[in-house]
Chain A
Amino acid sequence: MLRLEKRPQPSQAWTYATPLLAVILTMLAGGALFAFLGKDPLEAIRTIFWDPLFSEFAFYYRPQLLVKGAPLVLIAIGLSLGFRAGIWNIGAEGQYIMGAICGAGVALAFYPLEAWWIFPLMVVAGAFGGLIWAMIPAVLKVRFGTNEILVSLMLVYVAEQFLASMSLGLLKNPQGYGFPGSRNLQQYDSAHNADLIDGSGMHWGVVAALIAVIFAYILLKRHLLGFHIRLTGEAPRAARFAGVNPSRLILFCLGTSGALAGLAGLFEVAGPSGQITIDFNVGYGFTAIIVAFLGRLHPVGILMAGALMALTYIGGDIAQSKMGLPSAAIQLFQGMLLFFLLAVDVLTNFRIKPAKKEVA
């Protein structure tokens, strides 16, 4: 039998080696899966990981990586701050929805007025929507000590119902022949979050995600607040002695993650998606949780994890149409990748040793 022995310090080498190891393991297991389904495993893996980046049409897929990855990174950065401090916001999906609804609501309220200040106002409204939604679990936790994991999760369902109600009611496009869904903001210049350089995939959401990465990095490395966050997560009692105000930290972490998730929702609804519809949310809020952990809660790690997730989505769709793989196989493949990434992380913090005979 084997047993784990805690390393005195996380291994630097393994920190970098584990993601690579996980990807290799996934390719082996996934390859077996594809072979079992009667497809060429090498071609499938090449299609998923290589084609989006280096194939003939990579000029189109690379920008799409930004479009798909930006909301994931933006949300995951916010979440990671809280996760580090042991504050668990798993309701980012709800905050994402509320941000989109508030932001789009502002735009639709002013439609068809064209003015430069509409988009900035939408950004503020989007962040505000997410912030408010995240403040509910935050305030309840501070005031009553309720579990924020559960409250934030419950609020996702509430937000989904609210979204349905909005798309069928208040925000419905009056010229949409009665179909659910709002006007398309892509056709409303003042509200449209267009690519900054046409076709580059770089919209304001991508910029915001990059800024968030940099700020989070500085915050955690250089700022006292970042130190408090890390300290609270690693040694809560020591943190209290160091003068950390837990309530303020909870409000800050949940508030920030909510606002960032709201922003992600706003940038998505004003840009790539364009519309509030019943199925507007496609799970970014939940996937971002996985991204945060895959990135080991480190800003740069999250950036890379977000890109990897985006890659498997895009590559997965290519594999579907090119090779006729069912989407279920792609889902399973992604599941495997996550499992392996999560599993091998143990090597960073622990050493595997043969078990000693237990005494007594």
Chain B
Amino acid sequence: MEISSINPILLLASLIVAATPLLLAAIGELVVEKSGVLNLGVEGMMITGAICGFAISVNTGSPVLGLLAAAVGGATLSLLFAVLTQFALANQVASGLALTLFGLGLSALLGQGYQGVKPPAFPHVDLPILSKIPVLGPILFTQDFVVYLAFFLTLGTWAVLKYTRAGLILRAVGENHDAAHALGYKVVRIRVMAILFGGACAGLGGAYISLIRVPQWTEGMTAGIGWIALALVVFASWKPWRVLLGACLFGGVNVLQLNLQAAGVAIPVEYLAMSPYLITILVLVIMSADRSGAPASLGRSFHASN
């Protein structure tokens, strides 16, 4: 048994599946953090999205409605966080942690009775022509449509942040909320919208796990993916394209180590599993040279008191 038994095309294709929930949740969190808010409740919003999506698609038979419900579920939960941090000015770190606790409990309660139920199948979309391209075709163009959605979400986020006025305002709010306020922008309103967007994305990411990647419902099934998404945003130094890259790396490390194991290569699993986090720290250090990365107001409360 050796490495040759690993099929690189299949490896990359399953890497993309592993990366998608991370990408969805991380893109959402990126927008939230760009607006200057640190929401550590990603795990809670993901798992809530996972059960909302699951329950609705089982009951309606429609996976698309399920995804929609997941986004709504994640956003609804994030609204709690928004109320706490934006209106009650509670500390964001503590609120985010509380949100995770709350989300895990809520999802377990909502999910009672859904164990062992199979969700409606999610069709794969083989893009015409493109899927016929050798090597790239089977890797990139025979996925389910959520993968494409995640990709275009990344593209859209990048474009909006970089080229539009809305993106500019969002970044301004994240960099210096006092100045943004002085310029007449509704800091709180913008942040609440960013938080809701982040919640919806995390919910989608969760539903991707419960509806497509696994597909089933079990309590606590996100098993820490939300926390990895948080790391990913930092790793990417708040740049959408790097989030995409990082999602592949973070998702890939796990798929790769399983592949190596199956191929009979003895590897120290724990140390390999550490590596993405160590790399992230390294990236942080390197990045600190140029100060373009972290939004300056990240994690700070804003109140328009004169």
Q: Do any beta carbons of A and B sit within 8 angstroms of each other in the complex?
A: yes
The interface stretch among A106-114, A153-161, A185-193 is A153-161
Q: 1/0 per position for B24-60, CB-CB distance to A under 8 A?
A: 0000000000000010100000000000000000000
Pick from A88, A164, A330: contact of B93, CB below 8 A.
A88
* Contact between chains at A335 and B89 (CB < 8 Å): no
Compute how far the CA of A147 lies from the CA of B90 in the bound complex, rounded to whole angstroms: 21
Compute how far the CA of A285 lies from the CA of B289 in the bound complex, rounded to whole angstroms: 30
* Contact between chains at A4 and B303 (CB < 8 Å): yes
Contacts A157-B227, A162-B270, A338-B101 known; A140 to B299 CB distance under 8 Å? Answer: no
Query: DSSP class of A's interface residues: helix, strand, loop or mixed?
Result: helix
* Contact between chains at A161 and B271 (CB < 8 Å): yes
* Contact between chains at A343 and B268 (CB < 8 Å): no
Compute how far the CA of A140 lies from the CA of B288 in the bound complex, rounded to whole angstroms: 10
Q: Which residues of chain B have C-beta atoms less than 8 A from A150's C-beta? A: 231, 234, 280, 284
Pick from A88, A331, A332: contact of B299, CB below 8 A.
A88
* Contact between chains at B89 and A346 (CB < 8 Å): yes
Q: Which residues of chain B have C-beta atoms less than 8 A from A158's C-beta? A: 274, 277-278
- Taking the complex as formed, is B109 at the interface, i.e. its CB lies under 8 A from any CB of chain A? yes
Compute how far the CA of A29 lies from the CA of B234 in the bound complex, rounded to whole angstroms: 36
- Taking the complex as formed, is A124 at the interface, i.e. its CB lies under 8 A from any CB of chain B? no
Q: Which residues of chain B have C-beta atoms less than 8 A from A289's C-beta? A: 93-94, 97
Chain B, range 78-111, C-beta contacts under 8 Å to A: 80, 83-84, 87-91, 93-95, 97-99, 101-109
Compute how far the CA of A312 lies from the CA of B97 in the bound complex, rounded to whole angstroms: 17
* Contact between chains at B84 and A328 (CB < 8 Å): no
Q: Which residues of chain B have C-beta atoms less than 8 A from A221's C-beta? A: none
Compute how far the CA of A349 lies from the CA of B90 in the bound complex, rounded to whole angstroms: 11
- Taking the complex as formed, is B273 at the interface, i.e. its CB lies under 8 A from any CB of chain A? yes
Chain A, range 294-341, C-beta contacts under 8 Å to B: 294, 326-336, 338-339
Contacts A332-B106, A338-B98, A343-B90 known; A144 to B268 CB distance under 8 Å? Answer: no
- Taking the complex as formed, is B11 at the interface, i.e. its CB lies under 8 A from any CB of chain A? no
* Contact between chains at A147 and B230 (CB < 8 Å): no
Of chain A, the residue at the smallest CB distance from B95 is A342
Q: Which residues of chain B have C-beta atoms less than 8 A from A140's C-beta? A: 281, 284-285
Compute how far the CA of A282 lies from the CA of B95 in the bound complex, rounded to whole angstroms: 19
* Contact between chains at B90 and A346 (CB < 8 Å): yes
Q: Which residues of chain A have C-beta atoms less than 8 A from B104's C-beta? A: 328, 331
How many chain-A residues does the 8 Å CB contact rule pick out? Answer: 52
* Contact between chains at A6 and B305 (CB < 8 Å): yes
Chain A, range 333-360, C-beta contacts under 8 Å to B: 333-336, 338-339, 342-346, 349-350
Nearest-neighbour CB distance to chain A for B226, whole angstroms, equals 12
Q: Which residues of chain B have C-beta atoms less than 8 A from A344's C-beta? A: 88
Contacts A140-B284, A158-B278, A326-B108 known; A338 to B94 CB distance under 8 Å? Answer: yes
Q: Which residues of chain B have C-beta atoms less than 8 A from A330's C-beta? A: 105
Of chain B, the residue at the smallest CB distance from A137 is B281
- Taking the complex as formed, is B219 at the interface, i.e. its CB lies under 8 A from any CB of chain A? yes
- Taking the complex as formed, is A145 at the interface, i.e. its CB lies under 8 A from any CB of chain B? yes
Nearest-neighbour CB distance to chain B for A284, whole angstroms, equals 12
Interface positions of A (Cβ within 8 A of B): 4-6, 37, 88, 90, 136, 140, 144-147, 149-151, 153-155, 157-158, 161-162, 164-165, 168, 286-287, 289-290, 292-294, 326-336, 338-339, 342-346, 349-350
The 7 A-B residue pairs with the shortest CB-CB distance in the complex, in nearest-first order: A335-B102, A331-B105, A328-B108, A332-B105, A338-B98, A342-B90, A165-B270
